[in-house]
């Protein structure tokens, strides 16, 4: 069997096993439930409020953006956190020692993080369907759009997380860098308020990154056509959405593997032991 194909098959199996194990891990499943419940509570208190000047409930306008944020958060932050932790505990070093080990590792991480992120997304969407009548009228085309945008958004944000995680040299640096990146992109990407309220140069900057487009894609799937009037250009710009998210997916998938391989080449048993000793000193 081709070594690359064998590594990919093992990576798929590993990702599925890791996902099943996460369901039995109170810390992993607890974080997903806590985050999802926090978003559901926000929607609950917004369900009777209306967007000014329209008959659209505020919850219906907020849900698609929260879904986009959840996908981006899962793909980006989940990858950064996993990569840093597994570099610290020697998982990457063990993967490096196997033929095509980094390929299998990367595929396994993509599978497990994607399944976890999509699980939280499904829970949030089910709660939205129950609480928000407007969402029920999305139709088959709307639900298909949700699935396509979610999958494409994961492939756009997971490699970004891998790149950031590989560049950080400690868990603290990775956490700070990822939070700074995600917080800045969220602030300018129209997730919580119309992007048209921002300065022109900030709008242009937001258009470069995937977070704005995945939020726009979710809104186009679940909100009525009339809601596009508040978007830039007065339309959902579906082709541009798939184009930008697709470009980021291709760019990330091209950049992440060589960057991860370069990082893995620098790994050694002495470095892993040194990190463990530093961690023990911090705890002590």
Domain spans, the chain: 3-283
Task: Taking residues 192-212, report their average pLDDT.
Answer: 82
pLDDT for 141 beyond 80: yes
pLDDT for 51 beyond 90: no
Nearest to 149 by CA among 209, 195, 215, 193: 215
Q: Residue 269's pLDDT band (boundaries 50, 70, 90)?
A: low
What is the SS3 string spanning 63-75?
A: HHHHHHHHHHHHH
Q: Residue 240's pLDDT band (boundaries 50, 70, 90)?
A: very high
For 124-140, write each residue's pLDDT tens digit: 889 888 888 888 777 78
Q: Residue 242's pLDDT band (boundaries 50, 70, 90)?
A: very high
Q: What is the mean pLDDT of the chain?
A: 80
The answer to whether 104 and 20 have CB atoms below 8 angstroms apart is: no
Query: SS3 for 57?
Result: strand
Q: What is the pLDDT, as a whole number, of residue 67? A: 87
pLDDT for 115 beyond 80: yes
Q: Please state, in angstroms and as integers, the Cα–Cα distance from residue 284 to each residue in 15, 88, 256, following that order.
A: 34, 17, 35
More confident residue, 97 or 241: 241
- Percentage of residues in the chain having pLDDT higher than 90: 4
Q: What is the pLDDT, as a whole number, of residue 282? A: 60
The answer to whether 159 and 80 have CB atoms below 8 angstroms apart is: no
CA distance 232 to 236: 8
pLDDT for 243 beyond 90: yes
CA distance 112 to 86: 14
Nearest to 62 by CA among 112, 116, 124: 124
Cβ count within 10 A of residue 3: 12
Task: Taking residues 23-42, report their average pLDDT.
Answer: 81
For 149-200, write each residue's pLDDT tens digit: 988 888 888 888 887 777 776 667 777 777 888 888 888 887 777 777 778 8
Q: What is the pLDDT, as a whole number, of residue 281? A: 62
Q: What is the pLDDT, as a whole number, of residue 59? A: 84
pLDDT for 16 beyond 70: yes
More confident residue, 134 or 244: 244
Nearest to 80 by CA among 237, 263, 270: 263
């Amino acid at each position: 069997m081709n070594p690359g194909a064998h590594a990919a098959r093992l990576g798929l199996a590993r990702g599925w096993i890791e996902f099943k194990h996460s369901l039995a891990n109170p810390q992993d499943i607890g974080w997903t439930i806590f985050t999802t419940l926090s978003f559901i509570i926000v929607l609950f208190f917004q369900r009777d409020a209306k967007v000014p000047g329209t008959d659209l409930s505020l919850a219906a306008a907020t849900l698609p953006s929260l879904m986009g944020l959840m996908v981006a958060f899962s793909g980006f932050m989940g990858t950064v956190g996993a990569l840093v932790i597994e570099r610290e505990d020697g998982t990457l070093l063990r993967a490096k020692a196997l033929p095509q080990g980094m390929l299998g590792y990367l595929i396994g991480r993509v599978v497990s993080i994607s399944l976890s992120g999509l699980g939280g997304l499904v829970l949030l969407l089910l709660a939205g369907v129950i609480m928000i009548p407007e969402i029920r009228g999305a139709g088959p085309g709307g639900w298909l759009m949700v699935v396509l945008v979610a999958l494409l958004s994961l492939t756009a944000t997971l490699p970004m997380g891998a790149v950031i995680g590989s560049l950080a040299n400690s868990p603290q640096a990775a956490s700070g860098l990822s939070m700074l990146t995600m917080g800045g992109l969220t602030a300018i990407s129209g997730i919580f308020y119309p992007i048209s309220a921002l300065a022109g140069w900030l709008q242009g900057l937001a258009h470069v990154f995937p977070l704005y487009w995945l939020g726009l894609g979710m809104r186009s799937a679940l909100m009525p056509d009339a809601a596009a009037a508040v978007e830039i250009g007065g339309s959902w710009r579906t082709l541009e959405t798939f184009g930008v998210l697709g470009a980021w997916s291709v760019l990330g998938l091209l950049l992440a593997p060589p960057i991860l391989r370069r990082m893995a080449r620098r790994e050694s048993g002495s470095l892993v032991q040194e990190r463990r000793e530093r961690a023990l000193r911090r705890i002590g």
